[in-house]
A and B are shown apart, each in its own frame.
Chain A
Amino acid sequence: MIHQYMKHSRTTILFFMMLGAFVVMSIFLPDKFLTLSNFQSMASQIPEFGLLSIAIMLAMLTGGIDLSIVSIANLAGVCAALILTKSSFPQLGGYEEVFKIILAMSSAILISLLCGLINGLLIAYIKVTAILATLGTMSIFSGIAIVVTKGYGIQGFPEKFLFIGSGTIFDIPMPLIIFIFSIVIMSVILNRLSYGFNLYMLGSNPIAASFSGINNRGVLIRTYVLSGFYSGLASIIMISRVNSIRPGYGSTYLLQGILVCVLGGVDPSGGYGTISGLVIGIIMLQILQSGFNILSFSPFFKNVIWGVMLILIMVLNFYNVRYSQKLRKLRTEQ
């Protein structure tokens, strides 16, 4: 009975922590926190860093890390923004706007896939450590974005494109619908497809995975391409929601994304982590985030809190592991 409980303890504890944060916010800030507009703004902010967190989680499951996600999102966003504002296809007449939007979105996705592929090739074939490879490509991708835009922002997109980021269907924000759809697809990939199984195997022990016939290189490349894809998706939502893009936009999402993964129980050394844990982590972070916004904390102070949380969780994990080891030792001695 206790055994059964311990197995799911991590997600359960996390769920209660999330409820706790929600209750605390509701008690102390009832008139500002418990409003429809607050929930709507929360729901439209979650997808951006939620998608980026999924991208980081994928890399973490292999035991690596992807630091380039925000840069990929920037580069893809700049590309889409340039197509939306600079290109023109007068021969298409009334379909011009729709065509431009489709072209912009597909090229943003294509660029993010390509960036992911570059990461994957560096890590899987040249066998560069993930952290260094993505640290390098992070600078390359954002460097290209800066060179292309000369550091200036691009703004003013077509009306129809803004629907992706700020439109609603039955009062549900459009980004949230995209996000829920992505979560469902991701959990199917991780739990039902053989690729997902191989990914967890690779993460927990690459040598054993390789000896049991898993194509490690293929899995790694697919993982980083997928991670790039989710960054690209995040960038489309991001530029559509704020109606502009500037290189360097969203750089705080990297810390928050890693924090959410660790909070959601993803093991940074690979092999362990669930989508459900991640989603609870994302919601919890967003609750805190909007609470801090209502209290008008400065962005610097928020960074301090995120940093402290990140380290605190790791310290708690340390004691948790030590405690469970002690329990196991006691049990074997009996």
Chain B
Amino acid sequence: MNGNHWDVQIRRIFGQNESYLLFIIIAYSVLVIFLNPSFLTLENLFDLGKSSASLGIMAIGVFIVLLSGGIDLSFTAIAISGQYIAANVLIATGVDNILFAFLISGLVGVCLGALNGLLISYYRIPTFIVTLGTLNIFHGFLLTVVGTKAINSAQLPKCFKIFGAKNVLTLVKPGGGSYGVSVFTAIFIAIALLSWFILKYTRLGRGIYAIGGDREAAERAGLNVARIQFFIYCYVGILAGIAGILHVSLIRYSNPTYLVGSELSVIAPVVLGGTRITGGTGTIIGTVLGVALITLINNSLILIGLSSFWQGFFTGVIVAISVSLSSYQSRKNVTI
């Protein structure tokens, strides 16, 4: 009896998407280390954690949208709007404070997200069409009204650069100099934990799973679907705003044409993490692992010896394979 129990437990662990993903990440890392030993240093790993933070935060937002059975294409436009408007306001007012930047970017994010949420929850327009429209509206509006000129490193307020270099944990290299866990990684982990908590332990979070699983049933069970949807898109807006600030602090350069067009590279890790676009299935851990794998692949293409031209192709192949696998799995489960 006891042995049988163990058997079930092990099979459950191996049956999970997350376990496959972890296995692939480890196998791939071993391959990369084999080809280029310089990959396996603590410094490089911390660096990857830092550079993937803004992608990861946007991915968590997209994850929640997919979970509810929708799709968001406009989050890149929200992120770049938040970033560019915040940088411009900081320059214009002369206030050199990173919290103020976060506040502005978050506010822009909430407002734009709320517009998405209103259109989706009240007018019941397909999420894909709403966000394709607002992607173009937000980005076009930013470029026509706010401006098209990039803000270079010299013009950028100092607080972004200080924030970008901040570590929560600093280690000293044997030969002098220091490296450490960036504050970016800490923010990413905090947001992942917060989202996990909301999804797992609040009525709202369970509601998100419920409307993704079956909207009709959720409505009949007495959930206020419109309000939950409105919350989701506002939350994605805030996350996109935060990601926008992290992005500018990382590259120390704010170009209003950046980010837009990279939607797939954010959707890819979410889908890779086992989230189904039809809604109702998926975990935060899966998304985080998906982000890790995509970052790993994008950063190691050059180490392996392929040019960056291959990046789009590989992202597409990964998405196609992972959605095929997950839909194949879900059908297998249904027939059993």
Which residues of A pack against B, CB within 8 Å?
A: 65, 122, 126-129, 131-133, 135-144, 146-147, 150-151, 255, 258, 262, 268-269, 298, 300-304, 306-308, 310-311, 314-315, 318
Contacts A122-B320, A151-B309, A308-B137 aside, 18 further interface pairs with beta carbons under 8 A come to A126-B324, A128-B327, A129-B323, A133-B323, A138-B264, A139-B313, A140-B320, A143-B312, A143-B314, A143-B315, A255-B136, A298-B143, A303-B137, A304-B144, A310-B129, A310-B133, A311-B125, A315-B119
Shortest CB–CB separation between residue B314 and chain A, in angstroms? 7
Asked if residues A137 and B320 are in contact (CB atoms below 8 Å), the reply is yes
Bound CA span A126–B311, Å: 25
Query: Which residue of the partner chain B has the closest CB to A150?
Result: B309
Asked if residues B313 and A146 are in contact (CB atoms below 8 Å), the reply is yes
Bound CA span A151–B312, Å: 12
Q: Which residue of A122, A131, A144, A262 contacts B324 across the interface (Cβ within 8 Å)?
A: A122
B310 beta carbon closer than 8 Å to chain A = yes
Interface CB pairs A-B, < 8 A, 29: A65-B128, A126-B328, A128-B320, A132-B277, A132-B319, A132-B323, A133-B323, A135-B267, A137-B320, A139-B264, A143-B311, A143-B312, A143-B315, A151-B309, A255-B136, A269-B126, A300-B143, A301-B140, A302-B140, A303-B137, A303-B139, A307-B133, A307-B136, A307-B140, A308-B133, A308-B137, A310-B129, A311-B137, A315-B123
Q: Which residue of B132, B267, B309, B311 contacts A258 across the interface (Cβ within 8 Å)?
A: B132
Given contacts A135-B267, A143-B313, A258-B129, contact A128 B135 (CB under 8 A): no
Asked if residues A140 and B316 are in contact (CB atoms below 8 Å), the reply is yes
Asked if residues A139 and B140 are in contact (CB atoms below 8 Å), the reply is no
Closest 9 CB pairs of A and B: A143-B313, A139-B316, A140-B316, A304-B140, A136-B319, A307-B136, A143-B312, A136-B320, A307-B137
B312 contact set on A, CB distance < 8 A: 139, 142-143, 146
B130, B135, B277, B320 interface centre (most CB from chain A within 10 Å): B320
A298 contact set on B, CB distance < 8 A: 143-144
B13 beta carbon closer than 8 Å to chain A = no
Asked if residues B323 and A128 are in contact (CB atoms below 8 Å), the reply is yes
Asked if residues B323 and A307 are in contact (CB atoms below 8 Å), the reply is no
Bound CA span A104–B134, Å: 38
Bound CA span A268–B311, Å: 31
A304 contact set on B, CB distance < 8 A: 136-137, 140-141, 144
B292 beta carbon closer than 8 Å to chain A = no
Convert B217-248 into 0s and 1s, putting 1 for each residue whose CB lies closer than 8 angstroms to a CB of A: 00000000000000000000000000000000
Bound CA span A301–B139, Å: 9
A302 contact set on B, CB distance < 8 A: 140
Q: Is chain A's interface secondary structure helix, strand, loop, or mixed overall?
A: helix
Query: Which residue of the partner chain A has the closest CB to B317?
Result: A140
Asked if residues A127 and B125 are in contact (CB atoms below 8 Å), the reply is no
Asked if residues A133 and B128 are in contact (CB atoms below 8 Å), the reply is no
Shortest CB–CB separation between residue A312 and chain B, in angstroms? 9
**Interface range for B:** 35 or more
Query: Which residue of the partner chain B has the closest CB to A147?
Result: B309
Bound CA span A304–B328, Å: 39
Asked if residues A143 and B310 are in contact (CB atoms below 8 Å), the reply is yes
B323 contact set on A, CB distance < 8 A: 128-129, 132-133, 136
Given contacts A132-B323, A314-B125, contact A307 B310 (CB under 8 A): no
Asked if residues B320 and A301 are in contact (CB atoms below 8 Å), the reply is no
Shortest CB–CB separation between residue A296 and chain B, in angstroms? 13
Q: Which residue of A126, A146, A300 contacts B327 across the interface (Cβ within 8 Å)?
A: A126
Shortest CB–CB separation between residue A303 and chain B, in angstroms? 4
A135 contact set on B, CB distance < 8 A: 264, 267, 319
Bound CA span A137–B315, Å: 10
Bound CA span A144–B313, Å: 6
A126 contact set on B, CB distance < 8 A: 324, 327-328
Given contacts A151-B309, A300-B140, contact A132 B134 (CB under 8 A): no
B206 beta carbon closer than 8 Å to chain A = no
Bound CA span A147–B301, Å: 14
B71 beta carbon closer than 8 Å to chain A = yes
A308 contact set on B, CB distance < 8 A: 133, 137
Bound CA span A302–B137, Å: 9
Bound CA span A142–B317, Å: 12
B11 beta carbon closer than 8 Å to chain A = no
B129 contact set on A, CB distance < 8 A: 258, 262, 268, 310-311, 314
B195 beta carbon closer than 8 Å to chain A = no
Q: Which residue of B71, B134, B148, B309 contacts A146 across the interface (Cβ within 8 Å)?
A: B309
B167 beta carbon closer than 8 Å to chain A = no
Segment 103-144 of B: residues with Cβ below 8 Å from A: 119, 123-126, 128-130, 132-137, 139-141, 143-144
A303 contact set on B, CB distance < 8 A: 136-137, 139-140
Bound CA span A132–B73, Å: 12
Convert B148-181 into 0s and 1s, putting 1 for each residue whose CB lies closer than 8 angstroms to a CB of A: 1000000000000000000000000000000000
A128 contact set on B, CB distance < 8 A: 320, 323-324, 327
Bound CA span A144–B312, Å: 8
Shortest CB–CB separation between residue B260 and chain A, in angstroms? 10
B328 contact set on A, CB distance < 8 A: 126
Bound CA span A128–B329, Å: 11
B271 beta carbon closer than 8 Å to chain A = yes
Asked if residues B125 and A315 are in contact (CB atoms below 8 Å), the reply is yes
B278 beta carbon closer than 8 Å to chain A = yes
Query: Which residue of the partner chain A has the closest CB to B321?
Result: A136
Query: Which residue of the partner chain B has the closest CB to A311?
Result: B133
A318 contact set on B, CB distance < 8 A: 123-125
B331 beta carbon closer than 8 Å to chain A = yes
A147 contact set on B, CB distance < 8 A: 309-310, 313
Asked if residues A307 and B128 are in contact (CB atoms below 8 Å), the reply is no
Asked if residues B126 and A268 are in contact (CB atoms below 8 Å), the reply is yes
Bound CA span A269–B128, Å: 11
Shortest CB–CB separation between residue A141 and chain B, in angstroms? 8
Given contacts A131-B128, A262-B129, contact A139 B309 (CB under 8 A): no
